[in-house]
Amino acid sequence: MILALLTAVLVCWVGPPPAAAAGTAMQPGEACLRRCGNIDIPYPFGVGSGCHLETGDWTFSLSCNRTSDGRQRLYNYQIEVVDMSVRYGQLRIYSLINPWCYNSSTRGMNGQNNWWYDMSITNFRINDALNRFTVIGCNSLAYIRSLNDTTDLYMTGCMAMCPGVGRLENGSCAGVGCCQTAIPSGLNGYQISFEEKFNTSGTSSFSPCSYAVLLEAAAFDFRTAYVTTDEFMAANGNQVPLVLDWAIGNKTCHEAKLNASAYACVSGNSDCVDSKYGRGKGYLCNCSSGYDGNPYLLNGCQDINECEDQNSRYPCSVPGTCVNTIGGYNCVCPDETSGNAYNGTCEQKKSQIGWEIAIGVSVSIIVLIITASCVYMVYAKRRLAKIKSEYFKQHGGHTLFDEMRSRQGLSFKLFTQEELEEATGRFDERHVIGKGANGTVYKGITKDGCVVAIKKCRLASERQKKEFGKEMLIVSQINHRYIVKLYGCCLEVEVPMLVYKYIPNGTLYRLIHGRRDGPRIPFTARLKIAHQTAEALSYLHSWASPPIIHGDVKTSNILLDEDYTAKVSDFGASTLAPTDEAQFVTFVQGTCGYLDPEYMRTCKLTDKSDVYSFGVVLLELLTCRKALNLEELEEEKYLSSQFLLVLGENRLEEMLDPQIKSEQSIELLEQAAELARQCLEMLGEKRPTMREVAEELDRLSKLAQHPWGPPDSGELVGLLRSSPSPTTYSGHCRLELGSSTRNVSFGDTEYIGIQSPR
Ligand SMILES: *[C@@H]1O[C@H](CO)[C@@H](O)[C@H](O)[C@H]1NC(C)=O
Ligand SMILES: *[C@@H]1O[C@H](CO)[C@@H](O)[C@H](O)[C@H]1NC(C)=O
Ligand SMILES: *[C@@H]1O[C@H](CO)[C@@H](O)[C@H](O)[C@H]1NC(C)=O
Ligand SMILES: *[C@@H]1O[C@H](CO)[C@@H](O)[C@H](O)[C@H]1NC(C)=O
Ligand SMILES: *[C@@H]1O[C@H](CO)[C@@H](O)[C@H](O)[C@H]1NC(C)=O
Ligand SMILES: *[C@@H]1O[C@H](CO)[C@@H](O)[C@H](O)[C@H]1NC(C)=O
Ligand SMILES: *[C@@H]1O[C@H](CO)[C@@H](O)[C@H](O)[C@H]1NC(C)=O
Ligand SMILES: *[C@@H]1O[C@H](CO)[C@@H](O)[C@H](O)[C@H]1NC(C)=O
Ligand SMILES: *[C@@H]1O[C@H](CO)[C@@H](O)[C@H](O)[C@H]1NC(C)=O
């Protein structure tokens, strides 16, 4: 382990192996001349042995000779070199201008020089794209052709005409005084000659010489003086640049790579490029994209800092920041922006939706949804609470509530909607114990175990709604044994609900009319119920000021307790009596058959209206007929009007229930009928008060129980007198008491019944 570490340390100390690994192509020495005059000499070119790439020919071997004029000139073989490019694989040399001149002394043309270049000893090709064969002169035709020994024979030429000196134009080498022609590709040698048939002898006066040369087109700019003078030769020193392409060896890249020791592309990050002149014409090396330098040198290709490259334009879009990387660069948008920093634009960050942003956004949305739901739920709850509180307020709940607080010990409760829903199983149909025109009554059990009847009205008038709380306050204080106890109400609903004590034995209506074969109820019991009802109404009329008017007295509003005690109920139509004219009730309410005709005429509900209605109830008890019989003839429809009719004709007995006729003396029944008649007086004033009615009924009740005298005991409030052992009975009537049915005998002297609990 330690040994291994030591080894590693040692290796580090020694350092990496030498860059020039064995087997790679030779590299130039440090001492090699890299510049001649003002010309750079990049490898593979070099002056002297060991300084240039050896390819077995003269291609890269240069000599730097100081000429007679003192200048250093660079030569490749015998050709003067202008410069060279590793990147483009080019070498620029000087091409000699070939003149052909008129000799005025000999009056003929001088002999022409057959200029030729032969580059077959080097691996050069004449670049056909950059060079042009150019002829200057008047009436001059010159040719350029490949060398004799080459198998591919090319020949082309052009002719420069001179229609007149005035037609010559600077910069235009298009046939007038100057012509140019392209050369074929792949030439590595050429020779130039003039056509002797066309000579300047005819134009020698202003154009003595013609010139033909292969030159770099870009470096040539035609001057009119070139035709008329020797300026072309003089200005350029008899020579003009010519671009040559060079290549390494005569192998392709693929072939060259097989011999690593001869492979020239030694730099990392370099590529090999086959010569464009085809197979067998060698290869070139080039630095890979993003690198620059000399691929023929070890580590010659260096990363280009594109960001600071002065020669090329800034590589990124303007707001982008350029970051150089090895072999390339990155364009980065400034902070808080995103987009295409290369050649697009950077924009404020928003499209850059990475995972983080996506997750962030999702989480935000979820949080938002949850929050919104919560807010909505709270809102909905508040809204509901608000609605409830609105109703509560609307129904005068606050007044009631305040009153209730100030009056301690008031046994009245404000129920919530939930409490009542719970008590009735969400107002289930099975809990319905009564259905009427103006509402439904449900039986329910409150949380504290009270059995209650909940009256849910269909609708209430605006006035009722408004004064409901106030009314409730009054009604809640009514505590009378013959009036159904109102436990409380629920104000937080549109139509307030009333919660009464549950009265188990149904209504008086059911007791009288519920059986097809008659009520089977003794007259004394009827009188007792009538008396109790009258007491209740009297209490209502006298208890409060202004008096409370029931407004809808009828047999179906008189409930019967376990022991058949009357319990006046339903204050749905009950109203406080008005204290002044303006407050008179302005709508007719009540039940047909019971309605006070005076009230119908005047629309004034008074306590005497209750007296009239009570009169009808009394008639029902006496006759066992319904208050309104739609099956009967017109005059017999209304029990009240038929009764008055019959009474007027002294035919009362016909109307009376046969059962009570057998029970009681006709005198007593006539007295009861007389009381009813008084109640049914057309003028309210003439009717007795409820107090007077109650007293009369009390008197009659006592008479009926004890025809021979006053009762021996005032404690008996029950329907019948108790018997020590009332096990078997016989008589006319089956009386339903609670859940058991007993046969009861009704004699003149003995009454059997249930004693009220003390
Ligand atoms: C390639 O060049 C070498 C000398 O460098 C020569 O011996 C060989 O014959 C040439 N091969 C071809 C196909 O020209
Ligand atoms: C350059 O000089 C070398 C010797 O110094 C000579 O061999 C060569 O011919 C010269 N080249 C030219 C073009 O003068
Ligand atoms: C070398 O690469 C550069 C840019 O990549 C290119 O312009 C040049 O022409 C290449 N040279 C050759 C000889 O293919
Ligand atoms: C003209 O020709 C003669 C004889 O051949 C020669 O000596 C002379 O140099 C020539 N003149 C020019 C300008 O070429
Ligand atoms: C030049 O051309 C003329 C005719 O245009 C001809 O007579 C003369 O021989 C030619 N000279 C030469 C040297 O060919
Ligand atoms: C080409 O052939 C012509 C004659 O046929 C001759 O004058 C010239 O010198 C030759 N050129 C070369 C480069 O051998
Ligand atoms: C061509 O340019 C030269 C100066 O370079 C000028 O003297 C000559 O007059 C010009 N020729 C024409 C035809 O414009
Ligand atoms: C590989 O190149 C070296 C150096 O140019 C040469 O000496 C050797 O003979 C070459 N090997 C082959 C297999 O061509
Ligand atoms: C620059 O834009 C062009 C066209 O819009 C596209 O083809 C090219 O890939 C872009 N360059 C960079 C570096 O994004």
Query: Same domain, yes or no, for 111 and 225?
Result: yes
Task: Note whether 516 and 629 are same-domain residues.
Answer: yes
Residue 172, domain member (yes or no): yes
What does residue 233 show for φ and ψ, rounded to 5 degrees? -70, -45
**Does residue 149 form part of some domain?**
yes
Catalytic choice (292, 552, 607, 610): 552
Q: Are residues 488 and 548 in the same domain?
A: no
**Binding-site residues, ligand 3, Cβ < 6 A:** 87-89, 273, 284, 286, 289
Number of other CB atoms surrounding residue 450 within 10 Å = 15
pLDDT at 434: 79
Q: How confident is the model at residue 438 (pLDDT cuts 50, 70, 90)?
A: low
Share of the chain above pLDDT 90, in %: 28
Ligand 6 atom 4, closest CA: 148
Annotated catalytic residue 552: yes
Q: What is the reported pLDDT for 581?
A: 47
Q: Considering only 34-43, 307-316, 343-352, 669-678, which range has the smallest mean pLDDT?
A: 343-352
CATH code at 430? Answer: 3.30.200.20
Q: Is the peptide bond before 184 cis (omega within 30 degrees of 0)?
A: no
Has residue 532 been placed in a domain? yes
CA distance 217 to 311: 24
Higher pLDDT, 269 or 477: 269
DSSP string over 155-182? EEEEEEB-S-GGG--TT--SSBSEEEE-
**Is the minimum distance from the CB of 223 to ligand 7 under 6 angstroms?**
yes
How far away, in angstroms, is 343 Cα from ligand 9 center?
A: 6
Cite the DSSP H helix spans in 649-751: 652-655, 658-663, 666-679, 690-705
109 and 194, same domain (yes or no) = yes
* Separation of CA 659 and ligand 2 centre (Å): 166
Beta carbon of 550 within 6 Å of any ligand 7 atom: no
Cis peptide bond upstream of 546, omega within 30: yes
> Is 375 a domain residue?
no
Nearest CA to ligand 4 atom 5: 106
Q: Facing residues of 63 across strands? A: 75
The predicted model gives 281-289 an average pLDDT of: 92
Identify whether residues 691 and 730 lie together within a single domain.
Answer: no
Residue 456 annotated in ligand binding: yes
Query: In the chain, count of helices (H) and strands (E)?
Result: 19, 38
What pLDDT score does 519 carry?
Answer: 63
The DSSP symbol for 562 reads T
- Tell me, in angstroms, the distance from the centre of ligand 5 to residue 177's CA: 19
Domain residues for the domain of 455 are: 397-501
Same domain, 548 and 686: yes
End-to-end CA distance of the chain: 111
445: buried, middle or exposed (CB in 10 Å: 19+, 13-18, 0-12)?
A: middle
pLDDT classification of 3: cutoffs 50, 70, 90: very low
Q: Which of 659, 677, 662 is nearest to 623 (CA)?
A: 659
Quick check: is 209 in a domain? yes
For residue range 517-553, list pLDDT tens digits in order.
766 788 888 899 999 999 999 988 888 777 788 888 8
Residue 5 has pLDDT above 60, yes or no: no
Above 80 in pLDDT, residue 575? Answer: no
Q: Are residues 580 and 635 in the same domain?
A: yes
Domains contained in the chain, number? 7
Cα–Cα distance between 46 and 51 in angstroms, integer?
5
Residue 369 covered by a domain: no
Separation between Cα atoms, residue 347 and residue 334, nearest integer Å: 9
Amino acid found at 610: D
* 371 assigned to some structural domain: no
Helix (H) or strand (E) holding 253: helix 253-258
SS3 460: coil
pLDDT band at 465 (very low <50, low <70, confident <90, very high): low
Q: Is the per-residue pLDDT at 480 higher than 80?
A: yes
- Scanning the structure block, which residue is given the tokens 């829903």? 421
Do 324 and 432 share a domain, yes or no?
A: no
Is the pTM higher than 0.85? The answer reads: no
Q: How confident is the model at residue 275 (pLDDT cuts 50, 70, 90)?
A: very high
How far apart are the CA of 113 and the centre of ligand 5, in A?
Answer: 17
Identify whether 461 is part of a domain. Answer: yes
Claim to verify: residue 465 and residue 524 sit in the same structural domain: no
Looking at residue 402, what is its pLDDT? 74
220 and 135 inside one domain: yes
pLDDT reported for residue 529: 92
Residues 132 and 184 in one domain: yes
The domain boundary, picked from 501, 521, 550, lies at 501
Residues 600, 732 within the same domain: no
Q: Which of 501, 520, 545 is the last residue of a domain?
A: 501
- pLDDT on residue 460: 64
Residue that terminates a domain, selected from 87, 110, 144: 87
